[in-house]
Structure 1
């Protein structure tokens, strides 16, 4: 692959045809054939890659998660800025740089992704969301938190997804004041953003702010999800308040838009075990028999009857 870097840059009429062929391989999910074709074309100087070529190849790198190929393509893109004006447009193309960063994230190379991010002349909400998602997914919440301090307010509070990602980091790092600020500036996204609502509920429960969590739960009653119920039930179980968990369970059963899942049954069985509510256990066991069990529910039943 190092032979890629020995090529000379000259316009070639074959580029359009090669792009079509590589694109057809991508559409048909013949990713390895596309990579090989690109390698041969570069090695033999058969065609001149343009922006379309690199956008296609970066998409393919994301699919196959080939870090070595991605790094080689990155080197080619970087070397293009020293050639002539047409190739400099490749290096400065914001779509290419965004996709390059995203490809590194998919390949779990966040250090390289961040270097690409830093090299961008312009950054948009999608770029910030992509990098923060990568950080949070790998447990690097402190990097999301640090990055959030650099974001202009016009971008920071422009997206419910971005607010949610920053809030996740605040929750993990025990940054209550910053998380509260996200809530205040992101209120206009509620109740339409269920993801942000879930994370806010989790945030307040993490800091034992039960009143704020319940206020959100009640105010957004038409937008509740099963995640909201499970978060509250888990909190009450940790606080050894089994009756509140059981009450939430029956409230959930009266909600025609949501059906209990195995997690809900495990949580309510844990509450029954903590409270030793024998009469309640018989009713809920009847519900479980109709629903069907799995290994987690079975273990929770064993624990409940053991208690």
Structure 2
């Protein structure tokens, strides 16, 4: 909920209502004094105001200029019409030409400056010369200072204002200003010192406390409210949902219904649909859907679109489809919601059928469909669809590029990124993160450096997601010093940022440094997650820090309530195995509460080979073969170990078994980058276009080595 802007708007609306009362008084005074022409004058003033509100400035001008007699209200109405439509210079001309200016006129011009670009200095010039200030004058000027971020001046003016003008309008302006910049305690200070509070004041503070994570304090304030409206109820419900307290939020929504003093509106119901979708609550979602039908909201497109989105989030695409079919008037959001919902649930064919039926396709629908195809591995279909697009924005380019990355077609991702730049489309942070991931996967340092240069030119160097991607990229390319430098430049690192640098140090063998970063992360109040522990356990494994790794493994559940997953067990088994503690590793495997994956047994197999434990190697190989029948590694390792221990017949039998089953070892793979092009080579590969030249060069090099080195 964007309550701060909404309550600010309510404050402005109240001020405008106050201003309107004054305007009506002026009109009535004119009617009393003007004799027969007063009715005509009143009608003209009303028409100018209405045309201004509706954007018909030319019509308002025509009426204004044709008026034989004008009063202060006429001039103010024309000024406001210009200001309402962004014509601030014309508004000022009218103000300067006014034969007589009143407080209302000054207030209108002050509000015009604040509303149009927040020219607070010019607004304050007028405020300074205004001798007869009223509530509207002070509230408008305080609002102006708040919008301009000049809180000290807003506070000074607030203190100068007569007490009868402070509450609630001026106080509300100050409260909402502080809440918008996250200064909740300052807002609370103003709130607590208010002599008179209205529902806007209370609602703003409830929402502010919820956004600050202080849900209990918000509920205490909510319970003390003398009067509640739908905004205050929605703010408290949203606060609960935002912190994951679904049951409390749902019960509060039902309390609002039972009280019956406040009518449920589309905003509060949309909030509930979103919460049900995010929390996986189908029964409650269906209950709210039933309420919508009972209240007669089924023709509200905003609500119905929310229903479709909720059912798709809950995996009930059939129900979403029924809601879609029953809709009389489908807008673009409706079509896009269902297409995106099908894509989210991997029902690409169903999504494409809706996409083909869509009367007017938008960039959102094209992007969703391209994402759906790449997500299901149908990159060819995604490319076909992409080529059909008459115009392409950076979101659709990002969809196709990230699709290549997700399908491990990294070279294609870089190629399409180059095309994107050549076609004059500027990448966004998501595009940059995708191509950095591709560069990291290919260890393409030059390409990554070029992308980094592009980042700096676009002034995106302080974007957190890009900084995280750069840390991962440089780490995977072995430049952990640069990765660490970027990490130090991050102003407010999040958990992802810490995970990236810890993992970077771990991958490059800097176990002690990884643990130092982990300790720093804890000291700064960041709670580790599954990924963090995987990174620090990996660091301990590579650095041989057995005791530290074992202690970290135990703290996962004891201190943070994180259940170790298969990869965590694989890491700790690898750690014990590398240290020669194979029996302890086997004991740990037997304690795993689920069936271990091949990575766990792979760690045992590798350690068994290192420490010549043929008994455990046989056990590990047998388990890997059961889990991955086509995996050649257990056969190769076991055969080698048999031969090394003098059991050549057993080794031969293992190789024969592998060959009879048609299992082949995956060939080794290498790549080099030359002239901005990546060349891929497999062991025994003859497919390269220049293979004959390559073979001739290798032969020449071999002869030269023999001649010079005697190799």
TM-score under structure 2 length normalisation: 0.31
Q: Check conservation: 1:102, 1:113, Cα contact below 8 A.
A: no
Correspondence 1:151 to 2:455:
yes
What is the CA deviation profile of residues 165-215 of structure 1, one whole-angstrom value per residue up to 9, with x for unaligned ones?
A: 1111101222234212211211x232xx22211110122233444443222
Whether 1:98 and 2:395 are equivalent positions in the alignment is yes
Alpha-carbon distance change, 287 to 115 in structure 1, aligned in 2, over 3 angstroms: closer
Deviates more, 1:118-127 or 1:198-207: 118-127
Q: Is 1:181 aligned to residue 505 of structure 2?
A: no
Structure 2 residue aligned with 1:291: 593
Confirm whether residue 60 of structure 1 aligns to residue 60 of structure 2: no
Give the secondary structure class of the aligned counterpart of 1:106.
helix
d(CA) in 1 for partners of 2:418, 2:556? 43
Structure-2 change in CA distance of 1:117 and 1:182 (3 Å): same
Aligned partners of 2:379 and 2:570: how far apart in 1?
Answer: 41
Q: Among 234, 258, 273, which residue is 2:538 paired with?
A: 234
- Larger relative CO (CA 8 A, sep 6+): 1 or 2? 1
Q: What does 1:116-155 correspond to in 2, within 5 Å?
A: 116-120=420-424, 122-136=426-440, 142-152=446-456, 154-155=459-460
> Which residue is equivalent to 1:200?
501
1:33 is aligned to 2:348: no
Q: 1:22 touches 1:34 (CA, 8 Å); kept in 2?
A: yes
Q: Distance in 2 between matches of 1:99 and 1:281?
A: 52
Assess if the C-alpha contact under 8 Å between 1:253 and 1:259 holds in 2: yes
SS of equivalent residue, structure 1 residue 189 = coil
CA deviation vs aligned residue, 1:56-84 (integer Å, no higher than 9, x gap): 23321321246566556655655xxxxxx
1:91-127 per-position Cα deviation (integer Å, ceiling 9, x unaligned) = 4x7xx34313423432554222431244345443233
Q: Distance in 1 between matches of 2:451 and 2:537?
A: 33
What is the aligned partner in structure 1 of residue 584 from structure 2? 281
Distance in 1 (CA, whole Å) between partners of 2:401 and 2:468 is 22
The CA distance in 1 between the partners of 2:332 and 2:531, in whole Å, is: 45
Change (3 A) 1:34 1:138: farther
Tell me if structure 2 keeps the 8 A contact 1:101–1:117.
Answer: no
Aligned CA distance change for structure 1 residues 35 and 130 (closer, same or farther; 3 Å):
same
- Residues of 1 paired with 2:396 and 2:440: CA distance? 19
Instruction: Work out the CA distance in 1 between the residues paired with 2:538 and 2:499.
Output: 13
Q: Which has the larger radius of gyration?
A: 2
2:571 is matched with 267
Mapped contact 2:467–2:486 kept (Cα < 8 A): yes
- SS of the equivalent of 2:484 reads helix
CA separation of 1:204 and 1:139: change in aligned 2, threshold 3 A: closer
Are the counterparts in 1 of residues 444 and 477 from structure 2 also a CA contact under 8 Å?
no
Structure 1 contact 58–70 (Cα < 8 Å) conserved: no
Of 192, 196, 220, 2:521 maps to 220
5+ residue gaps, structure 2, are 1-328, 618-711
Residue 149 of structure 1 aligns to a residue whose secondary structure is helix
Q: Secondary structure at the match of 1:155?
A: coil
Secondary structure of 1:220 counterpart: helix
Aligned length: 260
Structure 1 residue 220 displacement after superposition: 1.6
Q: Matches of 2:354 and 2:417 in 1, distance apart? A: 24
How far apart, in 2, do the equivalents of 1:22 and 1:226 lie? 37
Which 5+ residue runs of structure 1 have no aligned equivalent?
A: 1-15, 39-46, 79-90
